[in-house]
Amino acid sequence: MFFFDPIHFNPMYFLFVAPAFLLGLWAQFRIRTAYAQAQQMPAPLSGAAAARHILDSAGLTDVQIEEVPGQLTDHYDPREKVLRLSQEVYESRTLAAVGIAGHEAGHAIQHAQEYAPLLVRNAAVPMAGFGSQGSFILLILGVVLHMNMMLIWLGIGLFATVVVFQVVNLPVEFDASARAKAQLVGLGIISKEELVYVSKVLNAAALTYVAATLQAILTLLYYVMRFTGGDRRD
């Protein structure tokens, strides 16, 4: 069944988010090239061993490391205190692997030190997840019900929680990468010369978060412009 989307099926929307879309494409290209290059550079430890060394050095011997399926599915679970690494990152002895593992270990250190932006981000996750879906439903209903502005403003307000989450997430990701770089060099896992390759991977990954944040902000501006400006005739 074909579902017509009266919210985003509008050329103005694509013009609004075009900068974020282009930045996202550039970030994906940067990730592929930087990751492929760093994969060719050997490291003395596997991703799992590097993460274990960083965690133990920070006193986080209780944080477990698990291997999970998929590609770039690496993440830190603060609820279970488990650092999960994709098979390639877990097993490989490359600069790409230790860089990504170090970044996730950085999140574990943030959690242990109660890094404020991380606490705010984790608290915002449920609301942002609900806001992403709920805002779309409310906006659709608002449009269908003859521009019901109460529903539309509720939808815009819900989507604003997504923007808040994305904005708060930026310093969390940048800080985790900074911690990873410092720990990898400080513990002698990589040299300062090798840090260049790790930085390229982590900086490219950071661009994807910037693109997602920009898209969320531009989408929110589009909603406000469309439903409070001259485009309400649609």
Q: Is 104 one of the catalytic residues? A: yes
Measured distance CA(187)–CA(227) in Å, rounded: 54
Active-site residue (options: 88, 104, 173, 194): 104
Strands 75-77 and 82-86: antiparallel
Catalytic residue list? 104
